Amino acid sequence: MISPDGGKGGGLRRFKPGVVPTVHLLCAALLWSGAGIFLLVRGIILLKNDEYVWLIGAGVLLGLIKSRMILDRVARDGVARIAGFTGTICIGAVYSWKTWLLVLAMMVFGIALRRLQVTPLLVGGICVAVGSALVYSSRFAWEALRVSRKGD
Condensed to tens digits (0 to 9), the pLDDT of residues 87-124 reads 888 888 888 888 889 889 988 988 898 889 888 899 99
Range of the domain at 94: 18-151
pTM of this structure:
0.83
Domain total for the chain? 1
In a domain, 130, yes or no: yes
Looking at the domain assignment, is residue 44 inside a domain?
A: yes
CB atoms within 10 A of CB 21: 22
Q: Is residue 2 part of a domain?
A: no
Could you tell me if residue 79 is inside a domain?
yes
Residue 5 domain flag: no
Task: Count other Cβ atoms within 10 Å, centred on residue 105.
Answer: 10
Q: pLDDT tens-digit profile of 68-89?
A: 999 999 999 999 999 999 888 8
Dist CA 79 CA 44 (whole Å): 29
